A and B are shown apart, each in its own frame.
Chain A
């Protein structure tokens, strides 16, 4: 998805503001009347009297509709990705597996391990160990692989001195070249097997590094990772949204964000916060993902017991925007703020569940990307809900930036 596609769906800021805050009719008389009317009608309702048709899915997907990576719900403003059909096409171009066993390459396994890491942090180490184990197994089975490959039409070999690729790049490396002219037949099997093993080891090491450095969200499906990888350069070069560019006071209102749904990304479906969508969506944000693996490796690690020091350091896993002074942007981009706030807004909205009127919060980020303070105004101010909102929004993190602080205001609408 190109940046031009991105721009195609951006709306004027006033329109975005209208969409996000399009009011419900505030008419207590209507509410009372409606509630009483419903209550009166309930007495006549028999259990099971509602037709099943009304409970059916109203607008299921049709064949003529497209699909986009679901992650877009949290970072649509800054990172347009390839569509799933494109990813599917790429996946379909992958080579057929010569064996009847499920076509799982080491890259696939590593990718699945990365995806699994979003499910349960406790399992991360096990997953990494599993990846290492798989790599080890592939080394021991190198002769078998060599024999298998030798029986296939010859193909270019992997140079033994080639650098192992990170996990996501391994997807590319796992593919054979397309209709490449066959070189003279050589016994390249052992070299290939060694290369595959190296890729597996690299993937495992990368997972371990990520486990320690970046508990950041990761895409949970291969398509999203394909798309994120393809879109990473464009995303890093994408300009900040005009709302941020025009912000002269350093205070940005989420009302002005280019996509209204961004703010809702972290919203839990029910008061209990158990709805499947919002928290998971926030976890799957890839906007905070480093643009390349080298940057990921350079991120400072946050070791246990060094919390105070860590708080002074930039937020791990956040990539400074390009074209900035001393490697730091003047302020976070709109999209990054949207992702950061959207990830915690659901929790904040749960704090005011049941209230009629929205409250408003102003979040002040320090230059390290962490929240310095949160002020709450509106109905929640001065109530326990304000503390709840503050606690929730304080979890937001943005990339480090050059200014001493940066403020953003957001409505906290009741669920």
Chain B
């Protein structure tokens, strides 16, 4: 079962094979969680969106026409759910929180084998500043940047998820990186020379 392609698993799930859909969940839940975490900046909300994404996808299996890859379909639902969650918030968050899942993950994953407190601190600070720079972007630029630059989707895949032309995705990524760079430079992170 784990060796089956996404499309085969979707086909099986449409026939009522819940286990097949479970394989898809396990295959993509980490990526969906990462996307949601970057968009929502909150572990609990990201977990909720991750679960909801697959539940909603299952509820719409009858409308999956197979023209796109299943994972882009999951992404589209996850982005919609995340945007809905952001819109429904009463207060707009303007800074990272101590338990920001993005920084948490960085500490655990990037420095798992590193015990140098200086490196840990520098990495944490960098992740925090970059996260804040990303948060400073508009939702559209942020979402596109996260999908392309962080999660590694191609422009074509991102375009399919977001429903815009590839050229627009390319423009968004360029704009987002430009703004992020400007944000970082204001805080002393320059392309050349000192990077704290």
Contacts and interface: CB of A to CB of B under 8 A. Distances in A.
Interface stretch (A25-33, A105-113, A194-202, A376-384): A25-33
B170 A70 contact: yes
Contacts of B56: 50, 54
Given A18-B106, A272-B6, A38 B55 contact: yes
B144 to A, nearest CB: 7
Interface in B1-54: 2-3, 5-7, 18, 21-22, 25-27, 29-31, 33-34, 37-38, 47, 50-51, 54
B85 interface: no
B2 to A, nearest CB: 6
A4 to B, nearest CB: 11
B177 A9 contact: yes
A260 B150 contact: yes
Given A25-B108, A47-B62, A277 B155 contact: yes
A67 interface: yes
A14 B101 CA distance: 20
Contact of A275 (B2, B108, B157): B157
Contacts of A278: 154, 156-157
A180 interface: no
A120 interface: no
Nearest to B181: A11
B72 to A, nearest CB: 6
Contacts of B33: 24-25, 34
Contacts of B90: none
A73 to B, nearest CB: 4
Contacts of B2: 354
Given A9-B181, A26-B108, A277-B159, A261 B171 contact: no
B29 A57 contact: no
Nearest to A280: B156
Given A22-B106, A60-B162, A354-B3, A269 B62 contact: no
B26 to A, nearest CB: 5
Contacts of B62: 47-48
A55 interface: yes
B5 A272 contact: yes
Interface residues of B, number: 94
A21 B33 CA distance: 15
Contact of B154 (A10, A65, A264): A264
A10 B191 contact: yes
B93 interface: no
Contacts, number: 280
Interface in A49-105: 49-50, 52-62, 65-70, 72-73, 76, 83-84
Contacts of A65: 140, 164, 168, 171-172
**Of A11, A45, A66, A69, which is in contact with the most chain B CB atoms at under 10 Å from its CB?**
A11
A34 B60 contact: no
Main DSSP-derived SS at the B contact region: helix
Interface in B72-128: 72-73, 76-77, 79-81, 83, 101-102, 104-106, 108-110, 126-127
Contact of A261 (B37, B58, B73, B155): B155
Contact of B195 (A14, A45, A52, A264): A14
Given A12-B191, A50-B63, A69-B167, 20 more contacts: A8-B177, A15-B130, A23-B108, A25-B33, A26-B109, A38-B25, A50-B59, A54-B77, A54-B80, A65-B168, A67-B167, A67-B171, A70-B156, A70-B169, A73-B154, A259-B149, A270-B6, A277-B160, A277-B166, A278-B156
29 contacts: A18-B126, A18-B127, A19-B149, A20-B150, A24-B31, A25-B109, A34-B29, A34-B50, A35-B25, A35-B26, A47-B59, A49-B59, A55-B76, A56-B80, A57-B163, A58-B76, A58-B80, A58-B83, A58-B162, A66-B175, A67-B167, A68-B170, A68-B171, A242-B192, A269-B72, A269-B154, A270-B71, A276-B156, A356-B30
Interface of A: 5, 7-15, 18-26, 30-31, 34-35, 37-39, 41-43, 45-50, 52-62, 65-70, 72-73, 76, 83-84, 242, 259-261, 263-267, 269-272, 274-278, 280-281, 354, 356, 413
Interface of B: 2-3, 5-7, 18, 21-22, 25-27, 29-31, 33-34, 37-38, 47, 50-51, 54-63, 68-73, 76-77, 79-81, 83, 101-102, 104-106, 108-110, 126-127, 130, 139-140, 143-144, 148-150, 152-157, 159-175, 177-178, 180-181, 184, 189-192, 195
